[in-house]
């Protein structure tokens, strides 16, 4: 036994079928599709679309969405095969354990903390900002001191400095969602379904109502000529041409993060072999269509200079108020949709994080407390409380811009390992029943690795360095704790 020891597929399937000791199977295919849409459609659509158009691609941001969607679809096919074959909580961590061994599984499990826990904290901070935008419609707002971290300050119009103390709204939303998750996956799925219907309805409303307000001039130069654009922060971006489109793909990729979180709920699906592929691929297809239409309408209603100057993060609301007279109510609803979007993203990320550590704990790689289930609700409630402290602490006391693109790079790394894992398992265990099979392996899996790798390359060396530092910390924990307590390495399975 060693660091490349693989967990037997038979053992994984046995664990998945152990309904008495494990998580409750309450989620249908429709619940899983809604869960995926809930994770995918967040503020990324409303914020990152304008940013990619302004800095990278102009109207051809729609092509950037297609490139990002292709990368996600290739990885999604591989996720679907794994989820239908190994219907157990843990997502990429579990799949890596079965195909590439314990060390790689630990690395990906640790890496997923970037996507889920750190991502949830970052979104919680953004939720706080948009709550104030909503309250301002009614002449109210949470004081600066209680909606920002101690490391942030601002000077008001009178020249007085205000220093943040604690981001109370960010901590509040994470607490509320944690309590909902402890109550149960079924209840969480019902609330998430209501949120999904609300925000998708607003997206569709903008597409339908905004279509007649598009100005053909804004789409005349659909793929701008390649050049360098320097933003207001002095950062240079490849604008226009193929590199501008690829840059836009890397930016809007953030808007797709979350569909893989569906696979973390495999052990709670009623019929995982059928429902998991439907949940993963169904949510991805629906969101991609909405994204392309939304981006096409937004870049047709407003122009690139609007996104670069007065629009910024509120570009969608600005476009509506400026170019769609009489639809101010829709701009207000967009703000509500962003809040709903943030809420459902936090819900799915916290759920995904607890399920990954649930599986790691059952394997002995993290302490047992992370797999202790609530006696009534059968949810990993102690894990939820621990992540409330960690994620809530980050959201309450650390500025949101500390994380940057780490969530994206962590997710892309997970995608690459899943694509490689499907190929490896086809060679090593061809006899295993697969209700869903990725077509044309190894071509599809190889393309998935290349497309996701290209997007990682586009994120720059600073993010590679941060990922490397994060993985070094994870390796220290693995060799000091996890390897010694591994059930597989110590023959406790």
363-402 confidence digits (pLDDT tens): 899 999 999 988 888 888 999 999 999 999 988 987 765 4
- One-character DSSP codes across 86-152: S--TTTHHHHHHHHT-HHHHHHHHHHHHIIIIIHHHHHHHHHHHHHHHHHHTTT----GGGBS-TT-
Predicted local distance difference test score (pLDDT) of residue 404 = 47
Q: Is residue 4 part of a domain?
A: no
Q: How does pLDDT run across 41-91, given as a tens digit for each residue?
A: 765 677 778 888 888 888 999 999 998 888 888 888 888 787 777 666 556
In the block, tokens 């500390």 appear at 402
Residue 162 host element (H or E): strand 161-163
Choose among 208, 260, 253, 250: nearest CA to 77: 260
Low-confidence ranges of the chain (pLDDT < 50): 19-20, 402, 404
- Return the exposure string of 119-147: e unless at least 16 CB atoms fall within 10 Å of the residue's CB, then b: bbbbbbbbbbbbbebeeeeeeeebebbeb
448 Cβ contact list (under 8 Å, min separation 6): 71, 74, 75, 77, 78, 415, 416, 419
* Structural domain includes residue 2: no
Tell me, what CATH number does 418's domain have? 1.20.1740.10
Give the residue from 418, 437, 432, 84 showing the smallest Cα distance to 275: 84
Place of tokens 């399920």: 355
Residue 460 lies in a domain: yes
The confidence score (pLDDT) of residue 20 equals 41
- Within a domain: 490: no
Is pTM, for the whole model, over 0.85?
Answer: no
Domain of 292 in residue numbering reads as: 9-485
Q: Provide the domain count of the chain.
A: 1
Residue 243 lies in a domain: yes
Whether 491 is in a domain gets the answer no
Q: Strands of 223-363 (E only): list them.
A: 227-230, 236-239
Structural domain contains residue 3: no
pLDDT of residue 79: 80
Q: Which two tokens stand for residue 379?
A: 């949810």
Contact (CB, 8 A) for 196 and 344: yes
Of the candidates 10, 32, 120, 55, the residue with the CA atom closest to the CA atom of residue 393:
120
Pairing of strands 161-163, 153-155: antiparallel
Q: What pLDDT score was predicted for residue 493?
A: 53
Give the integer Cα–Cα distance in Å for 13 and 331: 49
262 inside domain: yes
- Contact in structure between 264 and 86 (CB atoms under 8 Å): no
């Amino acid at each position: 036994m060693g660091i490349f020891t693989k967990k037997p597929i038979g053992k994984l399937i046995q664990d998945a079928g152990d309904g008495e000791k494990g998580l409750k199977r309450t989620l249908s295919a429709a619940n899983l599709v809604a869960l995926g849409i809930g994770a995918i459609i967040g503020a990324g659509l409303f914020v990152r679309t304008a940013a990619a158009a302004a800095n990278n691609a102009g109207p051809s941001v729609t092509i950037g969405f297609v490139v990002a969607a292709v990368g996600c679809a290739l990885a999604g096919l591989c996720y679907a095969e794994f989820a239908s074959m190994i219907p157990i909580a843990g997502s990429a961590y579990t799949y890596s354990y079965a195909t590439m061994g314990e060390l790689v599984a630990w690395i990906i499990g640790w890496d997923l903390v970037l996507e889920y826990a750190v991502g949830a904290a970052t979104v919680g901070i953004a939720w706080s900002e948009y709550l104030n935008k909503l309250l301002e419609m009614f002449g109210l707002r949470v004081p600066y001191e209680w909606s920002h971290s101690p490391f942030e300050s601002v000077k008001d119009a009178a020249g007085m400095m205000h220093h943040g103390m604690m981001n109370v709204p960010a901590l509040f939303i994470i607490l509320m969602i944690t309590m909902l998750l402890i109550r149960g996956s079924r209840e969480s799925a019902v609330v998430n379904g209501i949120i999904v219907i609300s925000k998708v309805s607003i997206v569709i409303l903008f597409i339908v109502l905004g279509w007649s307000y598009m100005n053909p001039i804004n789409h005349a130069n659909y793929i701008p000529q390649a050049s360098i654009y320097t933003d207001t922060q002095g950062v240079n971006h490849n604008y226009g041409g193929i590199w501008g489109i690829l840059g836009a793909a890397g930016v809007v990729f953030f808007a797709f993060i979350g569909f893989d979180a569906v696979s973390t709920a495999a052990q709670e699906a009623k019929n995982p072999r059928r429902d998991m592929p439907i949940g993963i691929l169904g949510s991805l297809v629906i969101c991609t269509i909405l994204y392309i239409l939304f981006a096409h309408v937004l870049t047709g209603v407003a122009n690139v200079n609007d996104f670069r100057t007065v629009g910024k993060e509120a570009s969608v609301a600005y476009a509506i108020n400026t170019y769609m007279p009489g639809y101010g109510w829709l701009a207000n609803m967009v703000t509500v949709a962003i809040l709903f979007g943030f809420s459902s993203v936090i819900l799915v990320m916290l759920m995904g994080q607890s399920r990954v550590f649930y599986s790691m704990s059952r394997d002995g790689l993290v302490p047992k407390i992370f797999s202790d289930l609530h006696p009534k609700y059968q949810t990993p409630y102690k894990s939820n409380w621990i992540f409330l402290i960690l994620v809530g602490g980050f959201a309450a006391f650390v500025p949101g811009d500390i994380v940057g693109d780490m969530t994206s790079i962590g997710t892309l790394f997970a995608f690459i390992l899943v694509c490689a894992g499907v190929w490896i398992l086809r060679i090593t265990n061809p006899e295993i029943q697969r209700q869903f099979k990725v077509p044309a392996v190894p071509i599809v899996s190889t393309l998935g690795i290349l497309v996701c790798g290209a997007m990682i390359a586009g994120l720059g060396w600073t993010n590679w360095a941060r990922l490397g530092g994060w993985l070094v910390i994870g390796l220290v924990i693995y060799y000091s704790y996890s390897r010694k307590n591994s059930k597989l390495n110590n023959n406790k399975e």
